[in-house]
Structures are given as C-alpha cells and as structure tokens.
C-alpha cells in the first residue's frame, strides 16, 4: 500500500513494560506477541518497539552491544520473527527503534577501538586529545550530566558521549561506520520489518572543528536541574551533514517496498523547523519532536505548532505525539486543565487524533494512565537517579502496562521490574473494555472515526480565530472544536450542522454551540464557517 504511513496511527510499545510471559518481571517478545490483538483492536496501523537488541541495559537498551541480535531478556530472533508474522496477520506494520548515534561500551568494536590508536577500529568512534591543561577538548555537556567527554587511559584520549559514559558515539565522518550502519538497516529490513524509528536523529554528526557550544540565548534566571539545558547546542549536534545521512537512509528504504521511517528530533530550540528539514523530499518519511510533550495546553500553542510546520514545510510530514517513554504522561502533565482525569484523557485523545499528520500513541495512553510516584530506591533510570529529586527521570512513565486488576495488573506473575501501584492498577484494560464512556472505548471510537474520515486522514488544516481556551479548525468538510478548560464555554457557529462522530460535551442550538468542560466536538461543514 503506497504511503501507508501518511496519516497513520502508530502505537509505541516499551518492551520491558508491556507483557511478561516468562515470569521474570520483565516484558518480552512473546508477551508482546500475545497482546498484539489489543493494539489491532484499538485500530492502530503500526506498532513501534523500543530497543530489543543485545545490551548491558545501562540505559534500558539504548546502549546496544549487538545490533543484529535480540537481548535474551526479551527472547530470541525466532521470537522476533514470530512477532512480525503475527503483527502482519493482524494487519499491523512493525517499526523498530534504531539507536545508531551511540552504542554500548561493551560493543566489540568499541572494545577494539579503545585498545590503541592504530587498530582497525581506531577511528570508528569520536576520540580527541586533551587540551594542554588535561581538560576535555571543549565544553560540550552530556544529557545525563557532566561533560560529554570521558577519559580513557589506554589511548590517553577522551571519547565523546552525549548520554551515559557507557554510551560512546560513533564517528559518522568515517565512511566505514556509515557503511556498517547501512548493513544494520538492511539486516532488519531483510527480516521483514516495515520501518524504523531513529533515536536522536539530529545527533549523528558533530562540528568538525569541535567549537564550544554557546550559552542558551534564552536568559536563565537560575541554574536548571539539568545544566544541559543551559547551552545552545550549535556544534554538538544539528550539523548539516546529518541531512546527507537522512538521504542515504531514504535510499536504503526505497530499495524495499512500503517501508517507512520516523525520526526523533531531540531539540528544544527549533524543533518544528527541523522536523520539516528532516522530512523534506528524499529524506525521512516522518519526524516527531518533544514540542507537544510539555506543559502548555493552550489553543495558541497547538495552533502555532501545527500551523508553523505546514507553513514552513509544505512537502514535509509530521508525527504528533503527546507522550512517550521519555516524558511525564500527559494525563498527569495536563491534569489541572481537566474537570476530571477521564474527561482530560478523552479530550486529549480526540485532539491528537484530529491533527493533520501521523500520530503516535504511548502505551497506556488509551486507558488514561498516569505517572507512578516512585521513591529514590525504586528508580532504575540513570537520568532520574543522577538528577534526583528533579527532574525525576523517566521511570514514572515506564511502569508496566495494566491489563486487569489482579496483582501486578496482569503484567507478570513475578516481581515487576518497576512497581504497579494502586492508582495505576485502578486504570486497566479489562475494566474499561466494553464500558460505555470509558477512556478506552472513546479511543476506539475516535480511532474508527479518524480511519473512516477522508477529512481527518488527508485534508489540510485551517485554523479559525477563537479566544482562549477554544481551539477550532476545519479539515475539509469537518469542523473540530475543543474547549481546553475545566469550565463551560459557548460560542456562535455558522456554516456547520449538528455534532457528528464521537463528539462529547457539545450541543448546537439556534446557532449557539454550548461546550461542556473539556468538550471535543466535530461538526459537519454545511457552508462558509464562522465562529463568534
């Protein structure tokens, strides 16, 4: 199916937390395979698996030691093949994470590279001499704290790591490294995957002159919890050579029919513009950023982000998401904007699934799941441990999927790697399945509505001038109106009929649209639309 990804909905699975089938407390491929029906029944088009590769798990699989094998904690290559076959039987595409910017320090190529300066892999990683005073070559910082440089006494040089010390960065200026990474992609494409999600897609190339990053141009009144955010990362990432690598990736994917790619834009300054650059013709198919994973829940925010993308990148394609494995769940983040947790969760689902572009759902989002409160001793995430108590890290959003109200939520018969606590246990799939008015059933209805609507799948977005907290836009023959607040609102409407589809909280009488708190209303366009 040509361009199946355009307007699609992808469901992100965090393998450690989705379903454990062998009782060791960690999710696995057999467990995911058993639960794929839930994703298919929801109405998704694809499933994205966070890393499943062999790894010491210092960063939960984002530190890869073997790109062409499955870590035993998740199963085997045969288990992976069975998962792909079952997904395809259910009509689901399979997208897998590719963590190509960095690897584990246990990767055999890094073990060879650090032996000396003359071995065959000597320049496969970013090595630099110290300055004359012994300090690192520049001021670049690690996302996980401290300098982005680690000293290695064997080579008497520093190697670069944007994340953990145990995650050395590949030298993409070495053509042999790029060739190797192409081979990794082809290995999985030949195995039947339908595409890739590329981690930290704007990090691959660094400034060849190793110039210092500047202070963030946005004035900081006090130090941040993570000082990485106090720099403007002009040189440690976002280099123009990245785009040439995107074009090579696209050429590889074009050798295989019906494959797709999505990039993670790890940038806080110009993410929307860069999403457009990275998805220009001949580059990635889709790109997402963290723009909609913050705390802003205003009409102006959504209007400008979506409007800016399609204005500046008419030939690009976005993937929008409200949550993922790296951020606070939006049901927690935006709680103050909801009259109730369910109302906010359902409105957020309606809002996201009405956007122009592709959509990514984070596991548990469809049941209104919230972050789990964790004590320091319960954390496994190095980011959370390093920066305790704030930012708390990523474990609170990564706790296991809750399938029912049994102990551990039906996730495991053993001790789960992160706890399943009472507030999360109360929100489970079994109790919501078939329950009228539940978050899960609303998501199912909204997914079916999107899939059956030519307007929501393909029509351009035209935003209407409305005051806060009302967001309104047309997509073809559909008018979408949202009251992004816990108080009732009303406005006059011309050129639209009564609410259709899975609308909630809206009544149109005599040209007045009464909006309940957290209303999400879809109206058929009947003429020239005006709101007041």
Residue 239 has pLDDT above 70, yes or no: yes
Q: Which residue has the tokens 């280099």?
A: 239
CA–CA gap between residue 163 and residue 352 (Å, rounded) = 30
- Select the CATH number that applies to the domain covering 9-100+175-205+234-450 from these four: 3.40.50.2020, 3.40.710.10, 3.20.20.80, 3.30.2090.10: 3.20.20.80
Instruction: Give yes or no for a cis peptide into 246 (omega within 30° of 0).
Output: no
What pLDDT is attached to residue 27?
98
Residue 502 has pLDDT above 70, yes or no: yes
Q: What is the mean pLDDT of the chain?
A: 96
CATH H-level superfamily of 102-169+206-233 = Oligo-1,6-glucosidase; Domain 2 (3.90.400.10)
DSSP element (H, E) containing 180: helix 175-190
CA–CA gap between residue 216 and residue 528 (Å, rounded) = 45
Q: For the chain, state the CA radius of gyration.
A: 23
Threshold 0.95, pTM exceeds: yes
**Six-digit token string for 516:** 């309940």
Band of residue 261 on the pLDDT scale cut at 50, 70, 90: very high
Q: Return the SS3 of 524.
A: strand
What pLDDT is attached to residue 222?
84
Predicted confidence (pLDDT) per residue in 63-103, tens digit: 999 999 999 999 999 999 999 999 999 999 999 999 999 99
Residue 170 has pLDDT above 60, yes or no: yes
Q: What are the backbone angles phi and psi of residue 198, rounded to the nearest 5°?
A: -100, 120
Percent of the chain with pLDDT over 90: 94
**Active-site choice (21, 213, 264, 365):** 264
Residue 303: C-alpha distances to residues 162, 278, 313, 466 (Å): 33, 21, 15, 10
What pLDDT is attached to residue 21?
98
What pLDDT is attached to residue 398?
98
Predicted confidence (pLDDT) per residue in 263-318, tens digit: 999 988 889 999 999 999 999 999 999 999 999 999 999 999 999 999 999 999 99
CA angle 507, 510, 512 (to 5 degrees): 55
Residue 217 has pLDDT above 90, yes or no: no
Mean pLDDT of 203-215: 97
Band of residue 480 on the pLDDT scale cut at 50, 70, 90: very high
Mean pLDDT of 174-201: 98
Percent of the chain with pLDDT over 70: 100
DSSP element (H, E) containing 423: helix 422-425
Active site residue 264: yes
What pLDDT is attached to residue 370?
98
**Six-digit token string for 96:** 């897998």
Percentages of the chain per state (helix, strand, coil), in multiples of 5: 30, 20, 50
What pLDDT is attached to residue 8?
97
Q: Which residue has the higher pLDDT, 277 or 220?
A: 277
What pLDDT is attached to residue 39?
98
Active site residue 116: no
What pLDDT is attached to residue 497?
93
In the chain, where does the domain assigned CATH 2.60.40.1180 lie? 459-531
Residue 331 has pLDDT above 90, yes or no: yes
CA–CA gap between residue 175 and residue 173 (Å, rounded) = 6
Residue 220 has pLDDT above 80, yes or no: no
CA–CA gap between residue 194 and residue 259 (Å, rounded) = 5
Task: Return the CATH number of the domain spanning residue range 459-531.
Answer: 2.60.40.1180
Which of 25-29, 126-130, 274-278, 384-388 is predicted with the least confidence, judged by mean pLDDT? 384-388
Residue 1 has pLDDT above 70, yes or no: no
**Active-site choice (21, 199, 291, 363):** 199
Band of residue 532 on the pLDDT scale cut at 50, 70, 90: confident
In the chain, where does the domain assigned CATH 3.20.20.80 lie? 9-100+175-205+234-450
In the chain, where does the domain assigned CATH 3.90.400.10 lie? 102-169+206-233
Band of residue 218 on the pLDDT scale cut at 50, 70, 90: confident
Residue 389 has pLDDT above 90, yes or no: no
């Amino acid at each position: 199916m040509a361009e199946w990804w355009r307007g699609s909905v992808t469901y992100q699975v965090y393998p450690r937390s989705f379903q454990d089938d062998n009782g060791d407390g960690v999710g696995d491929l057999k467990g995911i395979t058993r639960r794929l029906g839930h994703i298919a029944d929801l109405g998704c088009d694809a499933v994205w698996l966070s890393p499943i590769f062999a790894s010491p798990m210092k960063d939960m699989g984002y530190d890869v030691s073997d790109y062409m094998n499955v870590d035993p904690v998740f199963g085997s290559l045969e288990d992976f093949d069975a998962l792909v076959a079952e997904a395809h039987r259910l009509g689901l595409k399979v997208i897998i994470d590719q963590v190509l910017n960095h690897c584990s320090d246990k990767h055999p190529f890094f073990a060879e590279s650090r032996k000396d300066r003359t071995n065959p892999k000597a320049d496969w990683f970013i090595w630099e001499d110290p300055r004359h005073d012994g300090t690192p070559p520049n001021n670049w910082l690690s996302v996980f704290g401290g300098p982005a440089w680690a000293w290695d006494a064997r080579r008497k040089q520093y190697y670069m790591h944007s994340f953990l010390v145990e995650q050395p960065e590949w030298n993409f200026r070495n053509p042999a490294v790029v060739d190797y990474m192409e081979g990794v992609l082809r290995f999985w494409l030949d195995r039947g995957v339908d595409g890739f999600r590329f981690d930290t897609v704007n990090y691959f190339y660094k400034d060849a002159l190793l110039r210092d990053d500047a202070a963030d141009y946005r004035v900081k009144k006090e130090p941040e919890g993570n000082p990485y955010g106090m720099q403007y990362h002009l040189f440690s990432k976002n280099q123009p050579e990245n785009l040439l690598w995107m074009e090579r990736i696209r050429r590889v994917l074009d050798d295989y029919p019906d494959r797709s790619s999505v990039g993670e834009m790890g940038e806080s300054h110009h993410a929307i513009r860069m999403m457009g650059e990275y998805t220009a013709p001949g580059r990635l198919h889709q790109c997402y950023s963290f723009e909609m994973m913050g705390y802003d829940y205003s009409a102006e925010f959504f209007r400008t982000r979506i409007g800016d993308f399609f204005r500046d990148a008419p030939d690009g394609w976005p993937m929008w998401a409200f949550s993922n494995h790296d951020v606070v769940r939006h049901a927690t983040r935006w709680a103050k904007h909801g009259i109730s947790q369910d109302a906010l969760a359902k409105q957020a689902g309606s809002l996201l699934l009405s956007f122009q572009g592709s959509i990514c759902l984070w596991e548990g989002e469809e049941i209104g799941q919230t972050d789990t409160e964790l004590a320091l001793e319960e954390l496994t995430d190095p980011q959370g441990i390093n920066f305790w108590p704030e930012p708390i890290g990523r474990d609170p959003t990564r706790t296991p999927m809750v399938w029912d109200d049994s102990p551990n939520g039906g996730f495991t018969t053993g001790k789960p790697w992160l706890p399943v606590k009472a507030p999360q246990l109360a929100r489970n799939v079994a109790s919501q399945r078939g329950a009228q008015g539940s978050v899960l059933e609303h998501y199912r209805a909204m997914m079916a509505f999107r899939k059956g609507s030519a307007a929501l799948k393909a029509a351009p977005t035209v935003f209407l001038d409305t005051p806060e907290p009302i967001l309104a836009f047309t997509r073809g023959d559909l008018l979408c109106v949202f009251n992004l607040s816990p108080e009732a609102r009303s406005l006059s409407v011309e050129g639209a009929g009564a609410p259709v589809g899975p609308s909630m909280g809206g009544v149109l009488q005599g040209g007045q649209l009464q909006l309940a708190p957290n209303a999400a209303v879809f109206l058929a366009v009947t003429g020239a639309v005006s709101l007041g």
